[in-house]
Amino acid sequence: SGARVRRAQNKRLPQYLERGVDVKFSDVAGLGKIRLELEEIVKFFTHGEMYRRRGVKIPGGILLCGPPGVGKTLLAKAVAGEAGVNFFSISASQFVEIYVGVGASRVRALYQEARENAPSVVFIDELDAVGRERGLIKGSGGQERDATLNQLLVCLDGFEGRGEVITIASTNRPDILDPALVRPGRFDRKIYIPKPGLIGRIEILKVHARKKPMAEDVDYMAVASMTDGMVGAELANIVEVAAINMMRDSRTEITTDDLLQAAQMEERGMLDRKERSTETWKQVAINEAAMAVVAVNFPDLKNIEFVTIAPRAGRELGYVRVKMDSVKFNEGMLTRQSLLDHITVQLAPRAADELWFGSDQLSTIWAETADNARSAARTFVLGGLSENYHGISNFWVSDRINDIDTEALRILNSCYERAKEILEQNRTLMDAVVNQLVEKKSLTKQEFFRLVEMHGSIKPMPPSI
């Protein structure tokens, strides 16, 4: 073994090798079915001979597609870690240099090292930085990039099907990659890694909590439901910040509150980067606060999980999440009264706009919820729930359409008045919720109910936490 050591010492030190990569699949959470695809890549290394004997081609390149922070780098490392092979990495933005020829020579050096230390994973971060379709960039920068891209193609082809060096690249824009890169034998396998859903977020939080002194009763569900739209990198950060909170207070355990506070900070950080004037934040806050303040009065709607004005996936404004009795809701067993309550809540933003800004200054911020109310009101009438129109038989006659609309309008008006009345009775509560929303951007269930207890004029049942 003395000879081996000497030979190793004579060799140039690899520049792109990451030492001590010790990531396993168990460190990456919320993968679901993607995990099977990645386990197969590990097998290309561990059972390479078997694949070759059976004439199965081993892909030279795998593309991990998805937004920043979802764990693409972590996954590439986990593949290397599980297979027990070396991990080489470079960010493609490092390829793109101002000096002609530098990028291409870096690519060559990277692959030479990877081959000398095979088996190995080569990880190229942000492939789109160099892999953008040719001809899209003009000038000498474009030439340099083309040279780099060509070199990369040559290197990829050199390993095709041999299974000793497998390239994994990450990108958020698989759609703009040069077609030559995704040709068979190159990056011909794409794996999409989406943002984690609710369960995924719980799992990711738990993975990061493993090495931390967590209180036994930590409510991961509460933290996960507050962090809609966040990715693994942000969730990992939340656990770190929560740990710092704990240390600062000289406590020995991380609590749910630490995590929720950290989540709010993470969100605020995210949102402060978003351009919105204070006036706009306030307007959105009034919109969302109104729904929560009205909903809390109604038995089927009062179970409010959180209130937020943070724009999230699919909701530009913000939202109030009401935890419905899902059996009742899905089976369509909502009572007549809770359907009316629902309409009232959906009209609350419109009522608040009138109360807070005056009827001559109405905005259209409530348009979407008003639409919900309108369609719910028609359902109500058509379903024969309205006092004036029991039984549905007559409603399918087209000449009754006007009657249906008139009746729906009557219901909308009465719900609207009810929403206004509740809001007027709860001006102090509204102001408190709006102020806190503008400041913190979202309120947890506990925070919201604390305000309800302090300022609410109708005492609701305490929430079941």
Minimum Å distance from CB 45 to ligand ADP?
A: 20
Q: State which of positions 324-383 bind ligand ADP (CB under 6 A).
A: none
Nearer to ligand ADP, 233 or 324 (CB): 233
Nearer to ligand ADP, 30 or 318 (CB): 30
Tokens 């593949």 belong to residue: 79
29 near ligand ADP (CB under 6 A): yes
Q: State which of positions 123-182 bind ligand ADP (CB under 6 A).
A: 170
Report how far apart, in Å, the C-alpha atoms of 307 and of each of 208, 216, 264, 292, 322 are: 26, 26, 12, 7, 9
Q: State which of positions 400-439 bind ligand ADP (CB under 6 A).
A: none
Question: Is the CA virtual torsion 153, 158, 161, 164 positive or negative?
Answer: negative
**Count of other CB atoms within 10 angstroms of residue 40:** 14
Instruction: Point out which span in 4-12, 27-35, 156-164, 350-358 binds ligand ADP (CB under 6 A).
Output: 27-35
207 near ligand ADP (CB under 6 A): yes
Minimum Å distance from CB 235 to ligand ADP?
A: 7
Largest CA distance in the chain: 98
Minimum Å distance from CB 266 to ligand ADP?
A: 12
Instruction: Point out which span in 26-34, 322-330, 350-358, 363-371 binds ligand ADP (CB under 6 A).
Output: 26-34
Minimum Å distance from CB 209 to ligand ADP?
A: 11
- Report helix, strand or coil for 12: coil
User: What is 78-139 written as a DSSP string?
Assistant: HHHHHHT-EEEEEEHHHH--SSTTHHHHHHHHHHHHHHHT-SEEEEEESTHHHHBPTTSS-S
Nearer to ligand ADP, 69 or 463 (CB): 69
Nearer to ligand ADP, 183 or 210 (CB): 210
Contact 201, 194 (CB under 8 A): no
Nearer to ligand ADP, 89 or 245 (CB): 89
**Count of other CB atoms within 10 angstroms of residue 362:** 12
Minimum Å distance from CB 66 to ligand ADP?
A: 6
Q: State which of positions 33-92 bind ligand ADP (CB under 6 A).
A: 68-74
Residue 102 in tokens: 């530098």
Q: How far from chain centre, in Å, is Cα 310?
A: 13
Instruction: Point out which span in 22-30, 98-106, 146-154, 175-183 binds ligand ADP (CB under 6 A).
Output: 22-30
Q: 439 an active-site residue? A: no
Instruction: Point out which span in 25-33, 86-94, 108-116, 219-227 binds ligand ADP (CB under 6 A).
Output: 25-33
Residue 322: in which H helix or E strand, if any? strand 319-322
Nearer to ligand ADP, 64 or 434 (CB): 64
Q: State which of positions 221-240 bind ligand ADP (CB under 6 A).
A: 232-233, 236
Nearer to ligand ADP, 207 or 246 (CB): 207
Q: Which amino acid is at 268?
A: R
Minimum Å distance from CB 76 to ligand ADP?
A: 8
Nearer to ligand ADP, 29 or 259 (CB): 29
Total residues contacting ligand ADP by CB under 6 A comes to 16
204 near ligand ADP (CB under 6 A): yes
Provide CB contacts within 8 A for 146, sequence distance 6+: 134
Q: What is the DSSP letter of 298?
A: S
Minimum Å distance from CB 206 to ligand ADP?
A: 9
Distance CA 60, CA 414 (A): 67
Q: How many residues does the chain have?
A: 465
Distance CA 254, CA 146 (A): 51
Single residue of 16, 21, 28, 373 touching ligand ADP by CB under 6 A: 28
Report how far apart, in Å, the C-alpha atoms of 383 and of each of 386, 396, 461 are: 8, 11, 30
Residue 415: in which H helix or E strand, if any? helix 401-425
CA gyration radius, the chain:
29
265 near ligand ADP (CB under 6 A): no
**In the complex, residue closest to ligand ADP by CB:** 232
The one catalytic residue in 288, 354, 407, 447 is 288
Strand order in the sheet with 165-171: 17-18, 86-91, 120-125, 165-171, 61-65, 187-192
Minimum Å distance from CB 329 to ligand ADP?
A: 31
Minimum Å distance from CB 69 to ligand ADP?
A: 5
Nearer to ligand ADP, 27 or 305 (CB): 27
Q: Which residues bind ligand ADP (CB under 6 A)?
A: 28-30, 68-74, 170, 204, 207, 232-233, 236
Residues known to be catalytic: 288
